[in-house]
Structures are given as structure tokens and as C-alpha cells.
Structure 1
Amino acid sequence: MRPLKATTGWQGRVRRMSGGLISPKPSATEQTKHEQTNRVQKRLDGPRTIVVLNPKGGAHKTTSTLLLAATFGRLRGGSTLAWDNNETRGTLGWRAQHTPHHRTAVDLLTDLDRFENPSVASLSQLDDYVRTQVDARFDVLASDEDAAATSTIDDAAFDRLHRTLSRYYRLLIVDTGNNMRASNWVAAVAAADQLVIVSTVREDTAASAAWLLDGLAEKGFGDKVDRAVTILTSPSERPDRELEQRLTDHFGALTAAVTTIPYDAALVDGGTIDFDALSSETHDAWLKAAAVVADQL
């Protein structure tokens, strides 16, 4: 790989002012970001499905799904879908940037025959069903938002949606619900090219993640567990470093890689995520996490 040229910061200013005669070497941090970006932008020979899992609420599944999608979308130039496959009323659509319509996966399923033949349909026509995150360059497919609705996405419906959407998106990042027995939950794991196990640095969510891994192995997904990535998120400004290290060691022995995400006050209220409001440390951590996930694709 060619040496990275400094184009930002004081190195970039020196290079521009000298007309390129002086080109300071990029810092170690810049080199690391460049290398991680290259990993995220790796060439794929077909669509890939990443499934985000933890059967406990509050484990940061939805946040992780959106921030992974934003990182991949921005760096890969789009062609990324964040999909809420929650078997009940999911929150992915609420946390995403708002769009003029409120259609969901149920609406898309009803009209899916329009898109099953790509020769007569286009990605732009999906805009009536997905929620485009313009600045972050990815789309969101929300789950049913009607609390009184009786319609659900079962395994057959998931498979049909997944097969069709894989024709229009290079990366599908799936946010799952909490019921490991739900047929659409199992279908998502079966379709996954990569599992991402998420947990906060807390005993309860970590115990749920560990139980999940045992359950996946029992269901015959042991090979996917071996290649899984674990993402641990700090729940407070004062993280328990001892617990974080213990969890890193534990999940490091069970999955292919473990990476950590710092606390960010911009995510605390549980509302719409403003990607530009996140700290630089958070952006850097998600770049690293996306690179670790991309390594397994």
C-alpha cells in the first residue's frame, strides 16, 4: 500500500503552503484511520448480511445497527440498509432521521412483487418504503409501528424480503428483537454472513450475550459464533475498567474479536440519533468496530 499523504491538519497546511515540496508524514493515528477505512471499503463479491444480536433490551442493538450502517454507508458510498427485524414494535425507525412517510417492512412485503423482478424496478422506487438517511448515506427499513397490529413478519416473509432486498443493497445490517424463538429471529441468523454480538459493560446484558452464544451453538450456528464480533459499549462516563477487561477476555475466548465503544452523552436520551453530534472518540470507535466486522465478511 502506498504511504498515506497528509492532507488534513497542520501537515496538510504545510504541504499546501509549500506547493507539495514539503510533505510531512501522517501521524500514527492518521495511519491507523486510513488502514481501518481501507478495511471497511474492502471489495465484496456479492451482498452481505450482518445481524446484530442480544436477547435483552437495552443492550444497544438499535444504536449499534444504526451506527454500523452510518459508518459503512458513509465510507462505502451508500448501498447499505439498516433493517428492523424486531418481532414486535421495534424502535429503529424512531431513532433514525425522519422522512415524509411512515411505511414499514409490512407495507413493503405487501407490495414486494413490484421489486422481485429488478428489470422492472429500481432502488429509487424503494424510497417509498425505506427511510433515506441522506447525510449518512444509508437507508432504514422500519418494523411495524402499529402497537395494535396483528400482522407479523415470519420466517417465510423474512426470507422473501431478504432475497429481494439483497438485489438492491450491498450490505444489509439487521436489528433483531429479543425473542430467540421467533421464526423471523432464527431466519435472520440463518441468513447472516456475520453475527455481531452487542452488550453494554454491565453484568446483566453481558450475561444475556453469553447465554445467547450458548443458545446459538445449540441451534447449530456454532460456526457463525466462532466468526462473530463482540461490541461492548460503556454505559457511563466512568466505565468499570475491571469489568470491561473481564468481559473483553471472556468474549474474546468465545468470538473472533472484541471491540469497545466509549460513552457518548449524545446517545443518552434514546431519541433520533444525530450522527454529527457524536464525539470524535465515538466516530473513531465505530470506524474501528466497522473495520473489525468487515474483516470477517
Structure 2
Amino acid sequence: MQHFPGPVPQQGQQNPYAQNPAVTGPHQVGPGYGQPGHGEELSSARLLKQSKRAPQSGWRKAVYVATGRLINVGESPAEVRRRELIGRVNQPLRGCYKIAMLSLKGGVGKTTTTTTLGSTFSSLRGDRVIAVDANPDRGTLSQKIPLETTATVRHLLRDAGRIRRYSDIRAYTSQGPSRLEVLASEQDPAVSEAFSEDDYRRTVSLLEHFYNIVLTDCGTGLMHSAMKGVLDVADSLVIVSSGSVDGARSASATLDWLDAHGYRTLVARSVAVINSVRPKSGSVDLDKLAQHFGARCRAVCRIPFDPHLEEGAEIELERLAPETRLALLEMAATVADDFASGPRPRTA
């Protein structure tokens, strides 16, 4: 928009705007604007009484209920912390954010972490979240939620030309109680081995039109044909490690490989997760382990051992221990802190 300046006074003539402060020029405001007693007094913060939030648990809630809601001592520090984490999880997101879940070592809980992270996002955010099984060795991601369809990523790619709307693509996914959707891999290893880089790129290109967050549960082989496609389109990584020495070494080797193959920027945006940490778990110094990953990654999260996750069956967030749910909330908030960075610059 073009701005037209006010009249320029001739030599010896005073500026008419300077003579009377009540007369405003094109880039001036009237007297007292923004001062107390003027427009600011009509803001909601000044007009509405600021009341404490009602407590949601513990003795604070008991007092609140017992007194007929007359005595409100406010939220506990834990409730304030939880609300702050939920706010971070719900940060605005531009376009489709893609997260690759990686580990060179099997059995460290990568698929479980994929499911719990995706479920936490989908249970709190209003947009759509999907997890894709890109494991070439008969992935188990689809076993973590109730199965609604036998369709796989192969069927989706076969019918890609007929998909026009969300209801079309929904026929190929299963959805859990948290609203997380899962796109299963082929269960025949001979077929799934043929899942190529081009296949993965076509899959994500289709999903990003209908979903806001796409998590990819990768296999343990970094040299698998689809892995280049996974890494090239990912906006961030979650590197999953156990609390053991061999698990930590495998996770560190994953970072070494990524650094050596041109993904240093992606590593800098990654989050390391130390999974299934048991109380007093052996002689491994978890603080030093966290420091090691913290020097290479954006952040480090710890997920405690949980009997429900140990079952290896379908995952229900409601059955998790409170400390596990809080740790998952902190992990989701940490990952979401990168949403504001926007899409990562893509490789050629």
C-alpha cells in the first residue's frame, strides 16, 4: 500500500500538525492513546475478573468439591506444568511435519515409541496424525492399535490415482482410541523388501495432503532402499535407544552414520529418547548417557519402564502409569518445539 505524506511547509511556515497536538498526521496518533484510562481500559484483561483455574486432582480438588466450589486454592504446580506441556504440544503447525523414528538396534522399543508419541499428539491436537510402517522385516506397528483393515501401503500405492479426499484414504488405515491412524506395511517379507525410495516418496506425497503429522517407523537397516527417501523428506528425527551399553552404542552409531552421509542438519534437529528406563537400572550412568546425546541432538527425553508397554500388545494411553504419561507428554512437547522452525530444506 502506498503512503502519501502530508503537506510539506514552506520555508518560514510552521508545520500545522506541530501547532496543535490534537491534530494528527498520517503516522501520528491522538493524545493519550495507549495510556491507562483510554482504549486499553476496554481490553478483556482489564474488564474481566481474573479467577484461579479449578484444581483437577489431589487435596486441592477435594477441598474445592467439599466446599461447593467456594474455596479454590488453585492448581498444583504439577497441574500448571501439565497445562504448559499441553500448550507446547498444540503449537501451530504449517503444512505437514514429518518425523522419522530411527534405531540401528532392534528391541529398544522404537515401534512402541512411535505409537505412544503419535497417540499423544493425536489425543491432544485437533489435526490428523498418521504413523507409517516402513520396516522391511514384517513391521509390527499395525499390532499396536486395533486392526480395522487388512490394507497395506502397497494397496494404497496401487489405488493412489483414485484417492481424492480424506474418506478415500481412510479405507487404507486403522485408527486407535487416541485417533492415531496407522498405515501398515506388507507382512510378506519378500514383498516388503521391494518397498523402494520412490515408493516411500509417493506414499508421503499422498499422505501430506490429508495429514498434519506423519511419523515413519523405520527398520534397523540404514542402507535399506527406502531409507534415503525417509531421511530426505524428514523434518526431524527421533533416535531411540535403550538404557543399556549396546543400545546406546547403536544409537550413537546411527548419529555417526547420519553425520557422515550429509544429514548433520537433520541430526541437529533430532531428539534422542532413552526408552524403558527402570529404577536403579544396573550400573549404566544414565545422566552421562543423556549428556552424550545432548551434545549431539537438540534434546534428550527419558521414558520410564511401564508394565503395559512391556506387554507388546495394543497400546492404550489410559492404562499407562501417570509418570509414563507425563514423560510421553514431555517428549511430545519437546518434539513439537521444532514445529515453529518450519520444513527442513530438502536435499536435491
TM-score strictly above 0.5: yes
Measured after TM superposition, the shift of residue 24 of structure 1 is 1.6
CA distance in 1, matches of 2:198, 2:123: 32
Q: In the alignment, is the contact (CA less than 8 A) between 1:155 and 1:186 conserved in 2?
A: yes
CA distance in 2, matches of 1:59, 1:172: 21
Residue matched to 2:120:
71
Q: In the alignment, is the contact (CA less than 8 A) between 2:200 and 2:226 conserved in 1?
A: yes
Q: Which amino acid aligns with 2:235?
A: D
Alignment equivalent of 1:6, drawn from 54, 76, 95: 54
Q: In the alignment, is the contact (CA less than 8 A) between 1:82 and 1:138 conserved in 2?
A: yes
CA distance in 2, matches of 1:150, 1:52: 18
Measured after TM superposition, the shift of residue 109 of structure 1 is 0.9
SS of residue in 1 equivalent to 2:223? coil
Residue matched to 1:59:
108
Q: Within the alignment, does 1:171 sit opposite 2:213 as a pair?
A: yes
Q: In the alignment, is the contact (CA less than 8 A) between 1:199 and 1:209 conserved in 2?
A: yes
Greater CA drift, 8-17 or 241-250: 8-17
Match runs of 1:70-219 below 5 Å: 70-99=119-148, 101-115=149-163, 121-133=164-176, 135-149=177-191, 152-219=194-261
Residue matched to 2:334:
292
Q: In the alignment, is the contact (CA less than 8 A) between 2:243 and 2:284 conserved in 1?
A: no
Q: In the alignment, is the contact (CA less than 8 A) between 1:106 and 1:152 conserved in 2?
A: no
SS of residue in 2 equivalent to 1:23? coil
SS of residue in 2 equivalent to 1:88? coil
Q: Which amino acid aligns with 2:156?
A: L
- What is the RMSD computed on CA atoms of the aligned residues? 2.1
SS of residue in 1 equivalent to 2:131? strand
SS of residue in 2 equivalent to 1:144? coil
SS of residue in 2 equivalent to 1:159? helix
SS of residue in 1 equivalent to 2:226? helix
CA distance in 1, matches of 2:295, 2:115: 27
Q: How many residues align?
A: 290
CA distance in 1, matches of 2:192, 2:117: 30
Q: Which amino acid aligns with 1:71?
A: T
SS of residue in 2 equivalent to 1:254? coil
CA distance in 1, matches of 2:335, 2:314: 24
Q: In the alignment, is the contact (CA less than 8 A) between 2:118 and 2:180 conserved in 1?
A: yes
Alignment equivalent of 1:43, drawn from 77, 80, 92: 92
SS of residue in 2 equivalent to 1:183? coil
CA distance in 2, matches of 1:15, 1:109: 55
Measured after TM superposition, the shift of residue 11 of structure 1 is 3.3
Looking at both structures, which has the greater relative contact order when contacts are Cα pairs under 8 Å and sequence separation is at least 6? 1
Q: In the alignment, is the contact (CA less than 8 A) between 2:135 and 2:217 conserved in 1?
A: yes
CA distance in 2, matches of 1:35, 1:158: 36
CA distance in 2, matches of 1:221, 1:232: 21
CA distance in 1, matches of 2:159, 2:211: 18
Residue matched to 1:27:
76
Match runs of 1:228-243 below 5 Å: 228-236=270-278, 238-240=280-282, 242-243=284-285
Q: Structure 1: which 5+ runs fail to align?
A: 116-120
Residue matched to 2:288:
246
Following TM superposition, where does structure 1 have runs of at least 4 consecutive aligned residues deviating by more than 6 angstroms? 1-4
CA distance in 1, matches of 2:313, 2:111: 11
Q: Structure 2: which 5+ runs fail to align?
A: 1-44, 340-348
Assess, with a 3 A threshold, how the Cα gap between structure 1 residues 260 and 252 changes in structure 2: closer, same or farther: same
Measured after TM superposition, the shift of residue 279 of structure 1 is 1.0
Identity %: 33
CA distance in 2, matches of 1:4, 1:39: 21
